[in-house]
Amino acid sequence: MVRQTGTQNYFATVEDVPLSFGKPLYYQYYLVKDGQEQREVYFNFDYTGSVPSEAERRAFVVEGATPVIADIVDSDVDARRMPVFRNNKLLARPVTVTVECDIRPAVFQVKAGSTLDDIQSSFDITPAMLAADPDTIFKLGVYINGPMSNNGEGTWITWGGTLAADPNRKMWDDGTHGDAVAGDSIYTVVYTFDPALGHRVGQEFKFGIGGGDNESGYGLNHIENINDANPTYVMYNQWGSINPKFYNAWDFDNPSPRVAVKENIPLVTKYALEQNFPNPFNPTTQIRFAIPEAGDVHLTIYNMLGQVVNKVMFTDLNMGVYSYYWDGKDARGNNVASGVYFYEMRVGNKFRDLKKMVLLK
């Protein structure tokens, strides 16, 4: 492929490709550096077949004789996202890495009605568990497994009780072990990597609640490159980003919830926006709303200056009562300050209401 002048984009024209119109063309990108070939890290989240090698390839349905395929989207989940390559070079220097896992996608997915199946042990996380105790996930804790864990040990250990009993693979959300803010749903562990021990830039790992293999299915692991430009590095990860089609309650490109949780109330006759609960709150509050017919709902959160702090759109909701849980973070995932905030609900030109809430830390 040839680099386009003045850009970071590369292109190639391939002629006389044998294919069938209307069917997927499978392909991959490779990086050749220092004489070594490295395949891109890619998983087709839209793949529904049963061939593992096809699931790890890009797919494009060709409908005409001269198609243009542009894999240039700056995204972690879009099918046309830019290629990412695992860097297999040795680290340039010893690096202390703070590994962070944002557990909120798991919480919101279970609240939306999904079960996080443990594929190798018995730590399934169900909606009923959270209904009985909303702090279930936090009490079970978060663990890291895989070659990156335990200071780059290079192996996987047994999931379940074995992992949950390993203090070197336990992550923390209590302000210790490198954790920046206690109780913010971002779990942390600190590891040290050294090229003298054979540690490389590219790392592989996976997270588990309670020690279970319950983040996603087989073969879906995190692949991340350590930035070794400095002796310290913070590696931020979002739980479930390896399978965003399943974790559809979360927006991984703009870390925030994307769906509302429907409640089992059979009949709704009018639009309504309820007062959030608890209020004042810290750090999470529930916002309930009702719609009497199918439609799109916009929720926007403002500060005292009228500036947009966060917003979310729910598309094609059916009639019903829904709950949205705001965790006191702005659109970029940053904790907002204590103070008065306003939340607005809009449904086209059919309904609009605004209410006040207080975040008190």
169: left (phi over 0), alpha (psi -120 to 50) or beta: alpha
Task: Flag whether 318 is in a domain.
Answer: yes
> Whole-model pTM?
0.65
Instruction: Say whether 358 sits in a helix, a strand or coil.
Output: strand
Claim to verify: residue 278 and residue 352 sit in the same structural domain: yes
Task: Flag whether 89 is in a domain.
Answer: no
The 10s digit of each residue's pLDDT in 115-149 is 999 988 889 999 889 888 989 999 999 999 999 99
pLDDT of residue 117: 93
β-pairing, 295-302 vs 339-347, is antiparallel
Query: Nearest Cα to 325, choosing from 259, 251, 227, 252?
Result: 259
Claim to verify: residue 233 and residue 266 sit in the same structural domain: no
CATH of the domain at 341: 2.60.40.4070
Claim to verify: residue 48 and residue 142 sit in the same structural domain: no
Claim to verify: residue 189 and residue 288 sit in the same structural domain: no
Claim to verify: residue 117 and residue 24 sit in the same structural domain: no
Helix (H) / strand (E) containing 128: helix 127-132
Task: Flag whether 85 is in a domain.
Answer: no
The 10s digit of each residue's pLDDT in 271-325 is 999 999 999 998 788 899 999 998 899 999 999 999 999 988 887 788 888 888 8
Claim to verify: residue 215 and residue 233 sit in the same structural domain: yes
Claim to verify: residue 174 and residue 268 sit in the same structural domain: no
Task: Flag whether 213 is in a domain.
Answer: yes
Claim to verify: residue 274 and residue 243 sit in the same structural domain: no
Q: How many domains does the chain have?
A: 3
pLDDT of residue 353: 97
Range 104-129 burial, b when 16+ CB lie within 10 A, else e = bbbbbbbbbebebebeebebebeeeb
Q: What does the DSSP assignment read for 268-336?
A: --S-EEPPPBSSSBSS-EEEEEEESSSEEEEEEEE-TTS-EEEEEEEEEEPSEEEEEEE-SB-TTSPBP
Residue entry with tokens 């973070």: 329
Measure the CA–CA gap between 46 and 292, rounded to whole angstroms: 33
- Which of 250, 272, 290 is the C-terminal boundary of a domain? 250
Task: Flag whether 88 is in a domain.
Answer: no
Which residues, in sequence order, are CB contacts of 61 under 8 Å at separation 6+? Answer: 22, 23, 24, 25
Task: Flag whether 170 is in a domain.
Answer: yes
- Which of 193, 224, 250 is the C-terminal boundary of a domain? 250
Claim to verify: residue 184 and residue 315 sit in the same structural domain: no
Claim to verify: residue 239 and residue 308 sit in the same structural domain: no
Task: Flag whether 84 is in a domain.
Answer: no
Claim to verify: residue 242 and residue 106 sit in the same structural domain: yes
Claim to verify: residue 246 and residue 288 sit in the same structural domain: no
Task: Flag whether 72 is in a domain.
Answer: no
pLDDT of residue 260: 67
For residue 304, the enclosing domain spans 260-359
Residues of the chain under the 70 pLDDT cut: 219, 259-266
